[in-house]
Amino acid sequence: MKLMKFLSILFVSLSIFTFPKIAIAQSGVNIPRAKIKILGINTQKVKIRPTDNRVSGLPLDSKSQYLRITVEYYATSSPKSNNAANVKFAWIDKLIFSWSVIMAGNETGKSNNPPLIQHSVLMRKDITYGNVKASITNSPVKHYAVLYIESNAYERYGSKLIRDGIFVKLRVYDDKRLVANTWWSGNDLSTSPSIPANFFRFGSDQNWFESKLIKTDNSGLRGRHETPWEWASYNSYETIISDKLMKIANRKKKK
């Protein structure tokens, strides 16, 4: 009798944890696996309009200049369930955009001279978007994500910036799973796992993104919600649910 009672309790316990999972699978509910395709990256200098976000009693700011970095991407999904014939879209809980941006400069800012690492700066930032719509049909959904170099940082480091001196390393994660890997420089975009050969185009094979010699200033990057353009074209962007400075890994060699 004790054995039968034990087996009954065990069966009920297993049912609580197991049967709901089976029901979800049989109902055709999709648990998406995100696929992200980076279409392009571009930069644009933008200024605050005098009528935007003016605080009474303070002077108008019509000179401060930001640099906007925009990425276009497709989001698709591979459903785990085969019972999704009538489902066209799935939802990705969160996508993490992990940005690393280099402003490459030299002593004079002249483009006919190669940039020098001691006159360049590296900035990092992670931005997480929630409820990203992904297609599970042959019609992918286009999305946009933006990053800004704020005005003071752009003025500080832009004085020595060479032409086409913005270099981007972008990693996109579906939670903790890497789903996109992109390098961008000027009009050149690569999705290779490692930094492309001659990425900096200056005859240097050193990866400045991993160098200890380059100055870092993570305070220079801004998410859309940290700028005067927070509400501009609001429906064109996903909601930012988390925003943090990228943790700099301890690169000290193990003894």
DSSP code string of 144-158: EEEEEE-HHHHHHHH
Q: Which amino acid is located at 125 in the chain?
A: K
Per-residue confidence of the chain (255 residues) as pLDDT tens digits? 545 554 454 444 444 343 333 222 222 334 457 889 999 999 999 987 654 555 555 555 556 789 999 999 999 887 655 455 566 788 889 999 999 999 999 988 877 788 899 999 999 999 999 999 998 877 788 999 999 999 999 999 998 998 889 999 999 999 889 999 999 998 799 999 999 887 886 656 678 999 999 999 999 999 998 988 887 877 788 889 886 654 443 333 344
Answer for the pair 45, 65: CB distance below 8 angstroms, yes or no: yes
pTM of the complete model: 0.77
Show the CA angle centred on residue 203, arms to residues 197 and 207, nearest 5°.
55
Residue 236 confidence (pLDDT):
82
Give the H or E element holding residue 12: helix 2-27
DSSP 8-state symbol, 186: T
Question: Based on the number of CB atoms within 10 Å of its own CB, is 93 exposed (0-12), middle (13-18) or buried (19 or more)?
Answer: middle
Spatial separation of the C-alpha atoms in residues 191 and 183, rounded to whole Å: 6
Answer for the pair 117, 214: CB distance below 8 angstroms, yes or no: yes
